[in-house]
Amino acid sequence: MLWFMVLGILCIILYYKTIKPLSYWKNNGVVYKQSYPIVGSFGAVVFQRQPLFYYIKETYQQFSKERYYGIYQFNKAGLFIRDLELIKRIAIKDFDHFTDHMGFAPSEFDMMFRKNLFNLQGQGWRGMRATLSPSFTSNFTNYFKRQTGDTLELEMKDVFTRFTNDAIATTAFGIKCNSLQNRNDEFYLMAKDATNITGLKFFKFLLYNLFPGVSRFLKLRVTPVSVNNFFQQIIKDTIWQREKEGLFRPDMIHLLMEARKEVDSTEETHLPETSFAAVQESRMIQSHKRHNLDLSEEDIASQALLFIFGGFETSSSLLTFTAYELAVNPKIQERLQKEIDDTLNYCNGKLTYEVLHKMKYMDMLISETLRKWPPCFQNDRVCVKDYLVEPVNPWENKLLIKKGMIVLFPVVGIHHDPQYFPNPEEFNPDRFSDENKHNIKPISYFPFGVGPRNCIASRFALMEVKVLIFYLLSKFDIVKTKKTPIPIIIAKGTINFVAEGGFWLGLKQRLATSNY
């Protein structure tokens, strides 16, 4: 009898946790993606039948007549927003209702996912851009020049991941790495372990989203303890040495050490806009006054780890897809190389950030890569106080977005919508030319997010990518090989942006076309 009672109680709990929530959108008169108990609307992704990139894109197309549509993230109701005006209202105009991002790991146990405390701006940006010097990037290209053979075949995701690793090690941690030469560099291996969300880590993410209470009770960690300890020890040792010897480096550790003293976030930087894709700094953030931040060494370590998580994977993905599109579109590559050669001659072989800023075709090409292959497939916000959406279409009712509900912006769907970008599968940098970019509808292009919670490191990422592409194409042609995947097939079973079988491309040394 007792076992029947226990079974009955478990069935009731299971019903209220996994089945009853799936009637939410039906009861509220909102169209929604077909859903199933436990996995919600994302069964194809959870069971590794479809990559998240394609899932978001196809779901967006499925509800082409709607301003929004419901989904279930496991047992939680969520809302995808298709309408650009509604996205603008939620992300910008009525931001006070949607100030938070969705959490996806128990931050109290996982240092990687603690709240970001520092907004990189002001004088800090000047220091960071000085750290990623052209000499750092040219050393990267010289490594390949020393290799033998007519065409060097490489798995480009691995190559670019190692570059972004070394760049982050320098700019965030103030240490030097050369993971191209040292294939088993400890910093690289730890950073890769921290950002590679596959296998058991993938299912830990799923478990946290489905049963956050259980995950907290079990003290679930997505990032291994050894990884957290490794980076935290680097931070402690670096801070101790700098404070003892009065050392200075213009990197993130220095910025955060200074933030413990005092921060002036209202400083004017007068930096030129670097890209069409770069986000504008929010006035809401810029208006903050001078303040002190109570940052522990663990807090500083967590911010540096967030820098790894945000930049290690996304920057390498952007570089990889840029290289791929250049290889399969040789005429576009030739046009960019012409601009690079002209720029080298103009600046006497010494690239400056002001000169890089003037390279229009470079910016057009990177902007188009971010449109076609946005590393962030979707943006999210969490409603922090109830929000009413008035009906516009005759079949809509008033919709109350309740506190705690997740709203999502389908970036890849909007970027591939032909009403905003004709022939969206075509790689066409001229969409972003001076003659055409005014045709791009506001809010239809947001690879780094939109509103005050956009990506604070977009300018750094764009600078990093442009400088590397500049030096790489000044010395090499990027070419297809027999192993190059045409077309690309995005890998399943990971939140990382990778291709099935890898991104295999060739580097072929160019004949001298400039004086440098």
Binding residues for heme: 455
Spatial separation of the C-alpha atoms in residues 433 and 417, rounded to whole Å? 19
Q: How many angstroms separate the Cα of 37 from the Cα of each of 25, 241, 392? A: 14, 54, 32
Kind and range of the H or E element at 465? helix 458-475
Spatial separation of the C-alpha atoms in residues 118 and 116, rounded to whole Å? 6
CB-based burial label for 487 (10 Å; 0-12, 13-18, 19+): exposed
What are 81's strand-pairing partners?
A: 68
Give which of 341, 358, 299, 323 is closest to 515, Cα–Cα: 341
Q: How many angstroms separate the Cα of 26 from the Cα of each of 39, 78, 83? A: 18, 13, 21
Spatial separation of the C-alpha atoms in residues 391 and 33, rounded to whole Å? 20
For residues 443 and 88, the answer to whether their CB atoms sit within 8 Å is yes
Give which of 324, 378, 389 is closest to 495, Cα–Cα: 378
Helix, strand, coil proportions of the chain in percent (round to 5)?
A: 50, 10, 40
For residues 227 and 193, the answer to whether their CB atoms sit within 8 Å is yes
- Binding residues, as ranges, are 455
For residues 173 and 234, the answer to whether their CB atoms sit within 8 Å is yes
Kind and range of the H or E element at 76? strand 76-81
Spatial separation of the C-alpha atoms in residues 352 and 360, rounded to whole Å? 15
What sign does the CA torsion over 450, 451, 455, 457 have? Answer: positive
